Amino acid sequence: MIPDRPISLEIFADEFPEMEEQARIIAEWADNVYVKIPISNTKGESSSSLVRRLSHDGVKLNVTALMTLDQVREVTTALTGGQAANVSVFAGRMADTGRDPVPMMAEAVDILKEAPNVELIWASPREVLNILQADAIGCHIITATNDILKKLDLLGKDLSDYSLETVKMFRSDAEASGLALSRRSARQAP
């Protein structure tokens, strides 16, 4: 259905032999398929050996759910010299923990220079600003939800105009609520 774009399809096994079997099956579906392999199984065991084996056997991979630079280094070593691959670092989830993802993502770009066959994905962005941040550091790919894509029209919007639009939206919401305040209702409030 999507013949001219890369598409990532994820395995769902948790044991490495079954993960490998599923990855090889999925890889056969089309030339543009990248098989998503998580950085570890649910026991926290690294999938880097499996990643190395699959990549060097010609399977295109999207190694996913990375959140540390140690993971980026480990996966880069496994993927270097193998098939084309993506590394998905979950910058949005890192930001959810109160960490600024930009410095780490910039360092991930530098680490991946060792593996020209690998592209970095800024995964799970939370706002349009993340698109600009990813571009500024040279990140290869950013995922984006429809909500974020709809906000792209706001790029460069005049903030005074946007402020007035916001005030008008608040007023419209207030009118639509049907609520009213008067001195009498204010005195009756607990």
Question: Active-site positions?
Answer: 36
Q: What are phi and psi of 88, to 5 degrees?
A: -100, 105
Number of residues assigned to the chain: 190
Sort 85 into a burial class: Cβ within 10 Å, 0-12 / 13-18 / 19+: buried
Query: In sequence order, which residues have a C-beta less than 8 Å from that of residue 32 and are 6 or more positions away?
Result: 2, 3, 4, 5, 6, 7
CA atoms of 101 and 178, how far apart (whole Å): 43
Sign of the alpha-carbon dihedral angle for 175, 181, 182, 185? positive
Q: Which residues contact 29 (CB under 8 A, 6 or more apart)?
A: 9
